[in-house]
Amino acid sequence: AEEREELTWDLFGSAGRELARTVADDGFAPDLILSIARGGLFVAGALGYALDVKNLHVMNVEFYTGVDQRLELPVMLPPVPNVVDLTSKKVLIADDVADTGATLKLVRDYCVDHVADVRCAVVYEKPHSTVKCEYVWRRTDRWINFPWSVLPPVVRRDGQVLDA
Ligand code: 5GP
């Protein structure tokens, strides 16, 4: 099997701090962080504390259904945040990985004409990503195991318990 990139909880602690440092060193002071759920929530939380930003928003986007298994297009799941509320704001979009870049592109395009500045921060960016993120912790072309999604759910949505 092809080697995977493994992000542990421990390494994620450093990644969040280092990613925040690159944003701060660049002089970008976002008014709010827009996370892309679910993976981006962890990244947004870490960046929110490290950058001292308390205003966090969430967009729910579904695209992947398994390892390299995608829907045709990423789709926003309601409720979608009202970008009119974000006028004149500097927005930092946070996600775990830019792979094809389609998810970030969807969210960035949704914001770009409504806000003062929009930039993207990701833990990983893959070389073929159509969106080139302003802030990237590491680059890889492998499939990444994230600590929050490497284990199966403890319960299935149909109520069957998988793991005690
Ligand atoms: P994209 O739209 O850039 O192709 O993919 C973005 C989303 O797909 C990520 O936020 C993540 O949820 C999922 N994804 C893409 N590549 C990987 C990967 O290598 N590992 C994992 N665990 N998820 C991925």
44 lines ligand 1 (CB under 6 A): no
Centre of ligand 1 to C-alpha 154, Å, is 21
What is the per-residue pLDDT for 82? 87
Grouping H, G, I as helix, E, B as strand and the rest as coil, residue 11 is helix
pTM of the predicted model over 0.90: yes
* ipTM surpasses cut 0.85: yes
Centre of ligand 1 to C-alpha 59, Å, is 15
Do residues 112 and 118 touch, judged by C-beta distance below 8 A? yes
Q: What mean pLDDT is predicted for residues 75-98?
A: 92
120 lines ligand 1 (CB under 6 A): no
What is the per-residue pLDDT for 81? 86
Q: Which atom of ligand 1 is found nearest the CA of 143?
A: 19
What is the per-residue pLDDT for 162? 61
42 lines ligand 1 (CB under 6 A): no
Q: Residue 84 above 90 pLDDT?
A: no
Q: Dig out the tokens for 119 from the structure.
A: 């930039």
Centre of ligand 1 to C-alpha 19, Å, is 18
pLDDT tens-digit map of 52-72? 999 999 999 998 877 778 888
Can you list the positions of beta strands (E) in 19-157?
Answer: 32-37, 56-66, 69-77, 90-98, 117-125, 135-139, 144-145
Least confident segment among 9-13, 65-69, 105-109, 141-145: 65-69
The half-sphere exposure of 138 on its side-chain side, counting CA atoms within 13 A, is 15
Centre of ligand 1 to C-alpha 98, Å, is 6
pLDDT tens-digit map of 116-137? 999 999 999 999 999 999 999 9
Centre of ligand 1 to C-alpha 68, Å, is 8
